[in-house]
Amino acid sequence: MRRGRGLPPLLIIFLLTWGCAGPEIRPPALPPAAPLVAPPPVALPSASARGFPDFIVAIVQPGDSYPSLAGKYLGDRSMDWFISEFNGNSLPAPGEDVLIPLASYAPGGLWPTGYQTVPILTYHKLSRNGAPDAMTVREHDFEAQMRFLRDNGYRVVSLDDLFEFLQLRRQLPARSVVITFDDGWRSVYDIALPILKKYGYPATLFVYTDLIVGSRETLSWEQVRELSRNGFDIQGHSKTHRYLGRKERKESFRGYFEAVRKEIVES
């Protein structure tokens, strides 16, 4: 997103994911790693490029684009944003120089003038024809939102990518977005999956396991496995979806502690 003043990234994530109560999901600790983003560069064409430790200076050729330059020098066309943002997004004319960075130049989205935030779009149910409500988005509206992301230059990244970004281990495109679904409704399989596959977008599904019974409204475990095979990251959202932030009336502290343990461990 645009660099500038605003809420810290961790607070942004907390606020955007607070709408559906559930246990806090924390990723496992990651081993330290160098903050390199780009894959190893391919061999340099000597007549059109010169290599340095942290970047390559290349001469733009007729027909070049940022995806083609990323494929040629970084071995991955999808890294076009990495070169584009470094060069101000405007490709130099043929015959002019373009800089190809080889390492992260803004890990964690930190800049002298501000910092990057990454919105999390959280969904629950989708419907084909029913009226929308606080937890339900209509199919054509969901597809329109995915199309809006594509047409306006947003990049959908995985939750794992976001965690590495927050730990200053990687850089993300400036207009990055994460997509998640809560609970385990069947419409994620019937409606969301085909649309996300169409646009090539990853997503994370947080399931509360007592809901996964395989009905007209809810997912089965085989459908959860099929979602996983098709790019969904599957995570826990408690066992029964009870609110974990407070005891129930007349519940002892020991009983509350055991209930929270059960919600997290059994899920």
Q: For the whole model, what pTM was predicted?
A: 0.79
The enclosing H or E element of 9 equals helix 9-16
Contact 44, 107 (CB under 8 A): no
Task: Output the tens digit of pLDDT for each of the chain's 267 residues.
Answer: 444 444 444 434 433 444 454 444 444 444 444 444 555 555 565 578 898 889 999 999 999 999 999 999 999 999 999 999 999 988 999 999 999 999 999 989 998 889 999 999 999 999 998 888 989 999 999 999 999 999 999 999 999 999 999 999 889 999 999 999 999 999 999 999 999 999 999 999 999 999 999 999 999 999 999 999 999 999 999 999 999 999 999 999 999 999 999 999 999
Degrees (nearest 5) of the Cα angle 89, 11, 119?
40
β-strand 125-127 against 136-138: which pairing, if any? Answer: parallel
Residue 151 CB contacts under 8 Å (≥ 6 apart), including other chains = none
Measured in residues, the chain has a length of: 267
CA neighbor of 245 nearest in space, from 27, 13, 24, 14? 24
